[in-house]
Structure formats: structure tokens, C-alpha cells
């Protein structure tokens, strides 16, 4: 990068909370018009850096310059005014306000006598939505939007203030297709903006970014040009050691001979209809679909979290009525569910990791209703080893753990229940490469030991690598079913978008 004055220049910034060191001597430099990736495992300090750049927290030491000027925002608004806008990973939209209001926070357009004008707000909102090709009603309550819609809105809001530096933290976590986002990014960079792009999906990064800066344990390891860095080297920088990523296809055994453990017959519900499939013992049945194709409702319905309008579910051949997760656990060989949203549906931040893991079976650790700390820890340790969760974390509050380890703990909880049927909804959302490996391994060994898995993933490679068979849902229906051999990204993508029925059928 030649002498052009950099859009953003961060020099040896450090930040620590109490005794916890989050960032130490981190430096990063963005050129105007470039898309710069920020890589690192969960807990490497990416989020902290984002917070500092966007003015949420102040660094303890370190210098920041923007276009040559010293840059030290004392609030988000200030940062925005100086031209730094952020789309946060934990979406920063206010649920009980409308799309339009959210787009104009914190200052809404004023009408006569300095009062907020609803009409103007709506107009402004509509304009923004139009400009960024978002087909939402400006009056819709954010609470009513799907996760993906919210993510788009979050991104749009960041773009809307035409920043000189744009920070996108995990912008695709909830998006299955990225064209829309990438187009926007390219437009912005073409206009000379610098983009700091944070994602765990390396293929996205390679597609979009020119350079990448890698963080590890709160330190900046270095910056590399992406075209001359192999995945291997990048992983090495991230996890500190060569990262052999081997994913062989599971030998698609003659699954059909194994007994069926979960049979769905003509299920219909909130946003899906006429869903039928059979999950067999030791099988990993993949579910592929763009977001909002009804898969979420389907999964929730299978553990009784959402109502079933019609259809029948058989577990171990017996007709069952699943009225709630607690019932599902006790049904047949047991059904456990790994939910979509870790923070809101998964963890109990204030409780220790061990307690989080054993909660479903808390009654079983100890006697006479009294919990034995020892038994609890043993049980937790046992199942956390299955998901390769370091046992030292067991005593921490789970809230203090990195997202990846939280996810491992939640998977451990699902296995802890002893259920032999797991419904995993996007188990690797927003977790780092290493953790993904551990989770894959855990899922496989679970299946090999006779467990059955229904697996939805927003990342196709996962399905390609893990699934024995794969269902493709589209518009709330099963659009295609492909046996292990046929699963590859090309056919999947085709099916996902609802095209080329005949090809997949063939």
C-alpha cells in the first residue's frame, strides 16, 4: 500500500476490563477503498476492537488517526459524525420501534415546532430502504422481523450514513446469500470508503477482501495480503499452529437398513407444510435452505416449541405428541434441541458453565434433590470432553466464555441429556474455525455411536461434509432430497434457490 494517507490507522491500542486483558498492543491500518478483513477466533478481541473503533468504549492506551486527523470518538454518535459507522454482531436494533424509527435513531427528522414528524421519519426510512434495495415496510415493528431481515436492516443502517470507514461485524451470520451485501460493499469502496470486514467464513473473506489482519488472544499477529496467503497460513496465524482441515465424506453406509427413529408424516405448521421424512439410527440428516424457508418453525415444532397444525410424528415407531422440550426429552430414545440464538435461547450467563451443561439432568447429579458439586462437575466434564471443551472453563460463568466455547457447552448440554436424537439448528453459527472442527467431530462421533442427528446449517460446506442425506427446504416444503453421494455445493445451491427441479430429481 503506497503512501496514500490511510483511512484509519490504529497504533498499539490496549484495553483491559478489571483484571481481564481484552486487547494488547493491537495495530491495524485501513486504506481508502479497500475491504480489510479482521480475522481471529472467538475471544481473540475482535469485538473489543470494534467497540473501540465505533466509540462504545475508550482504549486504555494507543493512538488512532483517521485520514491523518487524530481520532478518539467519545460516543457512537460522535464516531458516526466523524464518518465511522458499524453494523454490530449483536444486532443493535430496538425491537419495539418501527424499521423507519430505527433507521433514523437517535435523531429523527423534525417537522413543525421542532417535533418529530412521523411522516418525515417514514419517508426517510422508505427512501433508505429503497436505496439499499430492502423490501421491508418502514412501519413494521422490528420485533416482528426475522433474524435475517434484522441483520439486513442493521447493515443498511450502517451504510445509510455514508461513512468513510465502515465496520461490518459478522454481517453474514444470519444471511445465507451474500450477493446483496457484497454489492453494497463494492459500491461503498468504489466511492472511496474503507470497510473493516469481520467474518468466520474464509471463502467470503477471500471473495471480498484484499488484506486481512489477524488477532489472537488480544494481540495483532500481523496483516497479510489475501491473494498470496493460503488458508493454511491464515489458520496458522489464527490458532497459532498448523490447522489440518480434513473433512472426508462419511461413507454413506446402507443406512436404509438401520431402524427409523424419527418419522415425520405430512407435517404442517406455522410456516411449513406437507413435510415428511425419516431419520434413521446413526444417520446425520442434513437440512439445507435459505433463511425463512420454514426450517426454523419445523425444528421448533419437532420439540413442541411451535404448534403443529397437522401431520404425525413417530419416535421409535410409536406415534407421539410432543408438547414441549421437556416431553421431547422423555419421548422414546429422547429428542434434544440445539437452538438458533445462543444468547437468548441458550445460555444462562450468570451460571457456571458446568451448571449450564447439566441443567437438563440436574435432578440426576446428587441425591435426594441435593446437587453434589462433585457429581455435577464430573458429569459436565464427561460430556464436555465429547465436544472438546477444555474442562478448565467449567467453573467460569458461561457468560464470560467466548461464543465458540459457549456453543460447545450448549452442544455438550444437548448430549448430556442422553437423548439419542439431536436436532441441531445451525450449530456453528458465528464460531471460529477451530471450534467448528471440534463440533463436526463431536457430531460425527455421536452418530457413529448410534445417535441420530437432524442438522440444519446456513453453511453449505458443512452439510456437504457431514450429512448422509440432505433435505432441501424451499417455501416451507421439502423441495428436494439428495443422498450422500449427490450432495455437493453446486446441486445444493441450485436446489436452494428453488431452480432446476428436474436436475436434482434426476
Partner 1 sequence: MSANADAAAASAPGSNLSLAFRRGLTDGAGVVAILYVILFTLYALWDRSALTVSGVTNLSNNAAPLAIAAAGESLVVISKGFDLSVAGVVSLSNVLMASYPVEGPGGALVSLLICLGVGGAIGVVNGVLVAILRLQSIAATLGTMIMGQGLALVIMDAPGGTVADWVSYTLTDVLFGVMPISGLIVLAVVGLWLLFRHTDACTGLFAVGADETAASLSGISVVSARFTAFVGAGLLYGLAGFMLSVQTATGNPTAGTPFLMLTFAAVALGGVSLTGGRGSLVGAIIGAATLMLLQKVLFSGGVSSFYTGIFQGVVMVLAIVFGSLVSRLAATGARA
Partner 2 sequence: MTSARPSAAVQPPADTRRTGRIRSETISTAAIFALAIILILASRFVSPALGSWDQVDTIITLASFLIVVAFGQGLVILVGGLDLSIASMITLGGVLATTWNGSFGPEWVLIPAVLLICACIGALNAVGVIWLAIPPFIMTMASGIIVASAALGYTSGTPRGASPDAFLALMKGSVGPISAVLIFVVIFVLLAWALQSATAFGRRLYAVGANREAARIAGVATWRPIMAAYAISAACAGFAGMMLVGYANGATLRMGDSYLLPSIASVVIGGSSILGGRGSFAATVGGAILLTTLGTVISALGMDQGWRTVIEGAIIVGALLLLREDLIARLRNRSAR
Rounded to the nearest whole angstrom, what is the least distance from the CB of residue 407 to partner 1 in the complex?
20
Q: Which of 148, 315, 329, 464 binds partner 2 (CB under 8 A)?
A: 329
For 428-463, b/e burial (b = at least 16 CB within 10 A) is bbbbbbbbbbbbbebbbebbeeebbbbbbbbbbebb
Q: Helix (H, G, I), strand (E, B), or coil: what is residue 397?
A: strand
460 binds partner 2 (CB under 8 A): no
Of 485, 325, 488, 347, give the one whose Cα is nearest residue 419: 325
Q: Which of 68, 144, 192, 317 binds partner 1 (CB under 8 A)?
A: 144
Partners of 114 in the beta sheet?
none
| Most distant CA pair in the chain, distance | 76
**Considering only residues 281-320, where is the footprint of partner 1 by CB under 8 A?**
290-293
Q: Which of 148, 194, 424, 433 binds partner 2 (CB under 8 A)?
A: 433
- Partner from partner 2, partner 1, none binding residue 433, C-beta < 5-8 Å depending on class: partner 2
DSSP for 211-246 reads EEEEEETTEEEEEEESTT--HHHHHHHHHSS-----
Q: Which of 10, 166, 303, 424 binds partner 2 (CB under 8 A)?
A: 303
Site string for partner 2, 254-293 (x = CB under 8 A): ----------------------------------------
- Partner from partner 2, partner 1, none binding residue 345, C-beta < 5-8 Å depending on class: partner 2
- Partner from partner 2, partner 1, none binding residue 57, C-beta < 5-8 Å depending on class: none
500 binds partner 1 (CB under 8 A): no
456 binds partner 2 (CB under 8 A): no
Q: Look-up: residue for cell 451443561?
A: 357
Q: Which helix (H) or strand (E) holds 156?
A: helix 147-160
Closer CB to partner 2, residue 126 or residue 305? 305
Closer CB to partner 2, residue 264 or residue 354? 354
**Residue 319: Cβ-neighbour burial (10 angstroms; 0-12, 13-18, 19+):** exposed
428 binds partner 2 (CB under 8 A): no
Closer CB to partner 2, residue 59 or residue 346? 346
165 CB-near residues (< 8 Å, 6+ apart): 7, 8, 30, 53, 66, 83, 84, 85, 193, 194, 195, 196
**Considering only residues 223-242, where is the footprint of partner 2 by CB under 8 A?**
239-242
Name the phi and psi angles at 109, rounded to 5.
-60, 140
Q: Look-up: residue for cell 410409536?
A: 318
CA-atom Rg of the chain in angstroms: 24
94 Cα distance to chain centroid: 20
Region near partner 1 per CB under 8 A, out of 176-184, 187-195, 219-227, 397-405: 176-184
Residues that bind partner 1 (CB under 8 A): 56, 75-77, 80, 88, 90-97, 99, 101-102, 105-108, 111, 115-118, 133-137, 139-140, 144-146, 148-149, 152, 175-177, 179-180, 290-293, 497-498
Amino acid at each position: 500500500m503506497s503512501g496514500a494517507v490511510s483511512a484509519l490507522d490504529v497504533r498499539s491500542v490496549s484495553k483491559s476490563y478489571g483484571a481481564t486483558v481484552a486487547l494488547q498492543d493491537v495495530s491495524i491500518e485501513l486504506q481508502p477503498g479497500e475491504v480489510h478483513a479482521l480475522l481471529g477466533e472467538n475471544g481473540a478481541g475482535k469485538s473489543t476492537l470494534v467497540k473501540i473503533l465505533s466509540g462504545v468504549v475508550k482504549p486504555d492506551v494507543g493512538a488512532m488517526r483517521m485520514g491523518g486527523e487524530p481520532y478518539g470518538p467519545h460516543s457512537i454518535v460522535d464516531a458516526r459524525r466523524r464518518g465511522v459507522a458499524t453494523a454490530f454482531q449483536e444486532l443493535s436494533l430496538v425491537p419495539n420501534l418501527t424499521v423507519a424509527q430505527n433507521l433514523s435513531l437517535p435523531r429523527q427528522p423534525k417537522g413543525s415546532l421542532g417535533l418529530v414528524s412521523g411522516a418525515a421519519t417514514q419517508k426517510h426510512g422508505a427512501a433508505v430502504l429503497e436505496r439499499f434495495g430492502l423490501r421491508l415496510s418502514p412501519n413494521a415493528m422490528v420485533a416482528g422481523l426475522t433474524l435475517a431481515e434484522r441483520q439486513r436492516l442493521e447493515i443498511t443502517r450502517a451504510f445509510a450514513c455514508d461513512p468513510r470507514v465502515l465496520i461490518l461485524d459478522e454481517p453474514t451470520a444470519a444471511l445465507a446469500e451474500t450477493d446483496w451485501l457484497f454489492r453494497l460493499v463494492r459500491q461503498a469502496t468504489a466511492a472511496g470508503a474503507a470497510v473493516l470486514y469481520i467474518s468466520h467464513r474464509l471463502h467470503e473473506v477471500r471473495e471480498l477482501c484484499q488484506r486481512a489482519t489477524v488477532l489472537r488472544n488480544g494481540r495483532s499477529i500481523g496483516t497479510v495480503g489475501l491473494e498470496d496467503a493460503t488458508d493454511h497460513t491464515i489458520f496458522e496465524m489464527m490458532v497459532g499452529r498448523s490447522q489440518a482441515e480434513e473433512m472426508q465424506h462419511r461413507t454413506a453406509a446402507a443406512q436404509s437398513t438401520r431402524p427409523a427413529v424419527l418419522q415425520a408424516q405430512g407435517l404442517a405448521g406455522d410456516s411449513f407444510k406437507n413435510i415428511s421424512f425419516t431419520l434413521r439410527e446413526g444417520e446425520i440428516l442434513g437440512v439445507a435452505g435459505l433463511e425463512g424457508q420454514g426450517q426454523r418453525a419445523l425444528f421448533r415444532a419437532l420439540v413442541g416449541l411451535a404448534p403443529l397444525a397437522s401431520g404425525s410424528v413417530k419416535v421409535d415407531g410409536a406415534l407421539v405428541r410432543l408438547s414441549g422440550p421437556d416431553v421431547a426429552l422423555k419421548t422414546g430414545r429422547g429428542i434434544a434441541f440445539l437452538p438458533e440464538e445462543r444468547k437468548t435461547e441458550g445460555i444462562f450467563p450468570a451460571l457456571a458453565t458446568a451448571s449450564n451443561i447439566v441443567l437438563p439432568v440436574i435432578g440426576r447429579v446428587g441425591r435426594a434433590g441435593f446437587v453434589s458439586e462433585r457429581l455435577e462437575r464430573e458429569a459436565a466434564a464427561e460430556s464436555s470432553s465429547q465436544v472438546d471443551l477444555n474442562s478448565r472453563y467449567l467453573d467460569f460463568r458461561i457468560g464470560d466464555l467466548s461464543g465458540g466455547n459457549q456453543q460447545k457447552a450448549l452442544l455438550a448440554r444437548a448430549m448430556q441429556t442422553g437423548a439419542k436424537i439431536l436436532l441441531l439448528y445451525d450449530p456453528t453459527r458465528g464460531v471460529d474455525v477451530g471450534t467448528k472442527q471440534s463440533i463436526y467431530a463431536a457430531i460425527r462421533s455421536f452418530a457413529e455411536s448410534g445417535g441420530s442427528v437432524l442438522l440444519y446449517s446456513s453453511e453449505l460446506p458443512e452439510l456437504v461434509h457431514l450429512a448422509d442425506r440432505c433435505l432441501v427446504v424451499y417455501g416451507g416444503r421439502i423441495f428436494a432430497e439428495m443422498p450422500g453421494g449427490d450432495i455437493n455445493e453446486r446441486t445444493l445451491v441450485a436446489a436452494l434457490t428453488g431452480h432446476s427441479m428436474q436436475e436434482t430429481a434426476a
